[in-house]
Structure 1
Amino acid sequence: MKENQQPGKSKQSKVLPISMDAGFFFERAVSSLDRYHYDKALKYFRKAVEYEPDNPVNHCNMAGILSEMGNYEASNAALSVILEKIDPTMTECYFYMANNYANMDMFEEAEKALITYLEEDPSGQFLIEAEEMMELLQYELERPTKVTKIKSLAGVLEHDRARELLEQGRFTEAVKLLESIVEGQPDFWAARNNLALGYYYMGQCSKAIDTIYGVLEQEPGNLHALCNLAILYQHEGKTEFLQELSARLRKIIPFHQDHLFKLATTMGVLGAHDMAYRHFRRLLKDEALRTDPALYHYTAVAACNIERFAEAENLWRHVGRLDPGNEVSEYYLNRIEEMAAGTRPVPVHYHYHLPFEEQVKQWELPGEGIPTNIADNPLVRSSFFWALRYGDDGTKLQVIQAFGLIGDHEVEEALKAFLLEPEEDLYLKDLALYVLRSLGVDYELPVCTGEATLMIDPSQTWAKLPVWKSEWQAVLDLAYEQMRSNTDIQQQHDMESLWVQYLNLSYPDIPAISHIEGWAAALDYLTAKVNHRSVSYEKVAERYGISSSTVRKYSLRINEVCDAKDTVKMIFPYVQ
């Protein structure tokens, strides 16, 4: 006989136990929200808080439903619990509180909460919404919102400023700013890439390469870093590395506009004009860029270099229509036939301005000279700094003179760095010292003469003379006054150099300088001669109110001591 069995023991139970945890109530709350049952949703969110009181998300959800129900005060109380007791790093709570205060028309409190959000939140999740709320608060409070910093944009605004400085040729300022950004944000790759460019523009190539390597160690595919590295390899003559990297770059087809432009300009610099042309052509298909004359110019230069001269001509004509006041398109259109015939070289750079050599030629035309507003053109200004490092001596001479007109802190730093270059011509360094003196530099600077480094004070042009007499200075002052309107910085420098040289070589038997006008006129005349300017004793004498024989007399006396025909290469005595 079988034993009796208890009911339910013969089968496995099919009833599943309910897990009453915070997740369960959260799901119920969300389900209620979907059906717009806000009371039930609030009840379930509160149960979730009871089960997990230390979970800030549960409190935040409860605050959110309270706000939806119009109970803004209770919502802010829940948000305050999060910030004060559970997780102060949930800075988005300040944004939610600002919304609640605004809905209660408590605009002062809303502003305080919004400012706290912007200054403390690192992610910027609600940055766009915060900007919109800021506009509302400005309208309601009838004053601007006093935001001193936006944490989520830390370094971004400074980086934009640094990029502007680079474009303006203010490399020293840009590098200092970028260094501070990178120090605070080591993974800000764009800032690091631009820092590398800044080092490169300042001639610190090894430092630039090390900076790029640092980026590529963390992001091997960073296109900006790869492009910058290729240009540096080319500059340093690292042919083997460049060939490998250039082949890699030729295979890349960027999607983003800024990447495409970066690669296009890089391929142009590397001489891969076929690839540059393809990439520039792709950019021209972008509606937003079709009014940019510079982009059409870049494409025309690339077309020229791959012998698409008819196309280049059409592109430059379009540049002229887009930017009728610019000389660039006219300059190249006037030379396109010669380039096509092979009697004139095609352009080797892509900058949207006249070649630097052409600018120099225009300055040398009668009545032209270096324009006084050159500092206002970032492209021209940037080309000056480039030419000072990589141009020939004649170009560098023009740049140094132009720097005398710009005369800002960046110019001072560039000239100081130039003085330390061992291979640079001593005459150019002496002219740089003269310009620095004209800019008010009156302290000792290190100057590399090739064999040694000397400390020189630009303001002490008569360093080897034990005294400097007032009548000697009076000669200089008068010559300056007469020459300033019709001579450039170089000629004024040469005049002063000639006078100091004469005094040094004559010392201690320097004759009495009583006829100030005669000596000044002689310096004026000789300076014009060594700089190949048309001049006569009579013309100079007329300006100084003396006879031509007096000008001739004192000119001969100076020439007996200094061979004036060589003073075009005269340098201050203490740099010899």
Structure 2
Amino acid sequence: MEKKKRLSAPGTMSKPKVIDIQMDAAFFFERAVQSLDRYHYDKALKYFRRAAEYEPNNPVNHCNLAGVLSETGKYEESNRLLQHVLESIDPAMTECHFYMANNYANMENYEQAEKALLLYLEQDEYGQFLNEAEEMMEFLSIELGRPVQPNSIKSREGFYEHDKARALLEEGKFAEAVRQLEKLLKKHEDLTAARNNLALAYYYMGQFEKSMATIHDVLERDPGNLHALCNLAIFHQHFGNKKELGELLDVLRKTYPYHADHVFKLATTMGILAEHEKAYHLFKRLLKSGEAGLEPCLYHYAAVAATNIGRYIEAEKLWRQAQKADPESNIPAFYLGQLELLRRGEPKPSFSYHYHLPFEEQFKVLEKTQQGIPEHLKKDPLVRSSFFWALRHGDADTKLQVIQAFGLIADNEVQEALRDFIQDPAEDDYLKKVAIFVLRAIGVGEPLKVVLDGQTLVLEASPYSPKLPRWEAKWQSVMDKAVQTMNKRYDMIQQHDLETLWVEFLTRVYPTVPKITKVEGWAAALEYLIAKMHRKAISYYEVAARYNVGVATVSKNVKWIDEACGLREKMDAIFPKLP
């Protein structure tokens, strides 16, 4: 049977179905993504370009296009597009800096890659590519042959700066740590860890009032903060607040922290507070668990605690372990020697929980080296803190020793401490003059603000007296020759006294200053006088031979300086045999 064709009635013919395609940015974006999935980069480029044309102010489209350009090796074009996004469309698209860093790295332009990467880390709030950025930092460090270190990482804002400040504390750079922490806390008030470290930095520098105020600030914000409670207990002990200390000790004795960091903090605190039994068990707990890392200082702390509770055999074993862990240090050997004295029944020596030599022993080390200070002492924060502390709170002799030691350390922290010292009206003028000499000796050439005899002065770099209208080159040559010749045999105090004596002599005889024909003769006379003033064995023959001048010349110049400065009368007790 023949099939009949179905005819539509007139006017009822159906229209073909047509799908209306919306040609917009979203359409081309989808096509671009599909092309990328199939690795059709040429098509993806075409589609992303069209998407950017439809929405020229949408930074995402431009970034996608830049990404494909990078994939196809067109790094320079990719970076031009990313730069356009940052400059003209959306400066907040900080990830563009990261993309640009990748492009520069692929172009082997590592300097530009570093700049772009640092901009990303310092501007990006969310840290989307933080892990990748850290890997790139490591890669660039290798390629550049130096560390790549951002000033800050915005996505870790506060934490990064705090880590830097902690590192400064560990290096003994207390003043710099204070600046970093104060700046950090202005932006992030709730970082209690930073406040605790700021309190410690103040404490190490001897600024007790500031430290105490900072601790109380922490405890107002976080009353149970263990670090702050431990710091407060040490302060109560320092200031002799027996009642407050007793109440706080009752709390700390019953505290059993879980985290290794808290265990270590409480252990060291209890040791300092003479709660040695509690400290011993906490240190042993750390040693058994290994959580705190088996550092030589940890063996030392446990050994000190063991000694103080009469466990001498245990203490010896612990210091032997410290020796193995730190074979180049003389600290374990020193304390083993002290332990032996204790076992013989001699008066009980001091056993400090600090992992460094006692203050007096440190100076014995320094006395053996006038040309430098051992690196382990220079970098040890506890050694440095003891120096800063002594400069503020020691007696005059100790301060003089510290000033001299600072001349051997000679870093920015030392310069800052000495600058503050010479401006303190309460300090002794002679000590301040020595400090000025040390500052000049370590290379500080600019004018120095100083308070002397109750007056604030600005001292120029030249060593002459204000009463001298000029300073002759020959006068300077005498001083230079003497200091150069004396350098390895006289300390900084003695060199300072030489400078003072020479300037005083010239000031007293001016304007009838003797004509200096032979610099060595006057330099020899100055050394002779300084040696006598400081009870150093010396003779005219010895000093004349050293400077290659005649004995008569030295003798004549010595008498001239003595008569002008009145040394015989002023120094008779120290200097009785001046010819």
User: Normalized against structure 1, the TM-score is what?
Assistant: 0.71
Give the 3-state SS of the residue equivalent to 1:533 in structure 2: coil
Paired residue type of 1:377:
K
Answer yes or no: is the 8 Å Cα contact 1:421–1:448 preserved in 2: no
Alignment-derived partner of residue 292 in structure 1: 295
134 and 386 in structure 1: CA distance in 2 versus 1, 3 angstrom threshold: closer
133 and 502 in structure 1: CA distance in 2 versus 1, 3 angstrom threshold: closer
Answer yes or no: is the 8 Å Cα contact 2:525–2:554 preserved in 1: yes
Aligned positions of 1:428-467 closer than 5 A: 428-438=431-441, 439-447=443-451, 449=453, 451=454, 453-457=456-460, 459-467=462-470
258 and 555 in structure 1: CA distance in 2 versus 1, 3 angstrom threshold: same
Q: Give RMSD over aligned pairs.
A: 4.1
424 and 147 in structure 1: CA distance in 2 versus 1, 3 angstrom threshold: closer
Paired residue type of 1:180:
K
Deviation readout 1:290-345 (Å, 9 max, x if unpaired): 63111001111222223322221121112112222211111111221222445244
Alignment-derived partner of residue 202 in structure 1: 205
Aligned pair count? 475
Distance 2:172 2:323 in 1: 26
Alignment-derived partner of residue 268 in structure 2: 265
Answer yes or no: is the 8 Å Cα contact 2:434–2:493 preserved in 1: yes
Give the 3-state SS of the residue equivalent to 2:352 in structure 1: coil
Answer yes or no: is the 8 Å Cα contact 1:498–1:567 preserved in 2: no
Deviation readout 1:472-498 (Å, 9 max, x if unpaired): 222212212322233222221111111
Give the 3-state SS of the residue equivalent to 1:464 in structure 2: coil
Answer yes or no: is the 8 Å Cα contact 1:209–1:229 preserved in 2: yes
Deviation readout 1:226-271 (Å, 9 max, x if unpaired): 2222223333343333333233222222111111111222222233
Match of 1:241 among 239, 244, 261: 244
Deviation of the 1:158 alpha carbon? 1.5
Distance 2:384 2:451 in 1: 25
Deviation of the 1:198 alpha carbon? 1.8
Distance 2:372 2:571 in 1: 27
549 and 137 in structure 1: CA distance in 2 versus 1, 3 angstrom threshold: closer
Match of 1:175 among 175, 178, 194: 178
564 and 165 in structure 1: CA distance in 2 versus 1, 3 angstrom threshold: farther
Alignment-derived partner of residue 379 in structure 2: 377
Distance 2:256 2:158 in 1: 29
Answer yes or no: is the 8 Å Cα contact 1:196–1:211 preserved in 2: yes
529 and 217 in structure 1: CA distance in 2 versus 1, 3 angstrom threshold: same
Alignment-derived partner of residue 6 in structure 2: none
Answer yes or no: is the 8 Å Cα contact 1:447–1:456 preserved in 2: no
Q: Does the alignment pair 1:190 with 2:193?
A: yes
Structure 2: gaps spanning 5 or more residues: 1-32, 39-43, 49-54, 83-93, 100-119, 575-579
Give the 3-state SS of the residue equivalent to 1:335 in structure 2: helix
332 and 444 in structure 1: CA distance in 2 versus 1, 3 angstrom threshold: closer
- Which stretch has the larger CA shift, 181-190 or 307-316? 307-316
User: Normalized against structure 2, the TM-score is what?
Assistant: 0.71
Alignment-derived partner of residue 117 in structure 2: none
Match of 2:284 among 269, 281, 285: 281
Alignment-derived partner of residue 522 in structure 1: 525
Match of 2:335 among 329, 332, 338: 332
Distance 1:343 1:453 in 2: 51
Deviation readout 1:331-387 (Å, 9 max, x if unpaired): 11122122244524433532222223112123334xx43534447533444443333
Aligned positions of 1:530-541 closer than 5 A: 530-541=533-544
Deviation readout 1:72-117 (Å, 9 max, x if unpaired): x9xxx9xxxxxx9xxxxxxxx9xxx99xx99x98999999489599
Distance 2:280 2:420 in 1: 37
Distance 2:133 2:233 in 1: 46
Q: Does the alignment pair 1:548 with 2:551?
A: yes
Paired residue type of 2:370:
G
- Which stretch has the larger CA shift, 539-548 or 458-467? 458-467
Distance 1:389 1:285 in 2: 40
Deviation readout 1:366-410 (Å, 9 max, x if unpaired): xx4353444753344444333323444333323222322332221
Deviation of the 1:123 alpha carbon? 7.2
169 and 276 in structure 1: CA distance in 2 versus 1, 3 angstrom threshold: same
Deviation of the 1:289 alpha carbon? 4.3
Distance 1:480 1:288 in 2: 53
Paired residue type of 1:551:
V
Distance 1:346 1:401 in 2: 27
Give the 3-state SS of the residue equivalent to 1:285 in structure 2: helix
Aligned positions of 1:87-106 closer than 5 A: none
Deviation readout 1:150-197 (Å, 9 max, x if unpaired): 433112222111112112221111111111111111101111111122
Distance 1:393 1:538 in 2: 35
Paired residue type of 2:548:
G
Answer yes or no: is the 8 Å Cα contact 2:121–2:153 preserved in 1: yes
- Which stretch has the larger CA shift, 336-345 or 495-504? 336-345
- Which stretch has the larger CA shift, 436-445 or 343-352? 343-352
Give the 3-state SS of the residue equivalent to 1:332 in structure 2: helix
Answer yes or no: is the 8 Å Cα contact 1:494–1:568 preserved in 2: no
Deviation readout 1:192-221 (Å, 9 max, x if unpaired): 111122222333322222222221111001
Aligned positions of 1:311-330 closer than 5 A: 311-330=314-333
301 and 476 in structure 1: CA distance in 2 versus 1, 3 angstrom threshold: same
Alignment-derived partner of residue 413 in structure 1: 416
Distance 2:495 2:537 in 1: 16
Alignment-derived partner of residue 352 in structure 1: 355
Distance 2:547 2:136 in 1: 71
Q: Does the alignment pair 1:250 with 2:253?
A: yes
Answer yes or no: is the 8 Å Cα contact 1:357–1:395 preserved in 2: no
Deviation of the 1:222 alpha carbon? 0.9
Distance 2:295 2:451 in 1: 44
548 and 113 in structure 1: CA distance in 2 versus 1, 3 angstrom threshold: closer
Give the 3-state SS of the residue equivalent to 1:159 in structure 2: helix
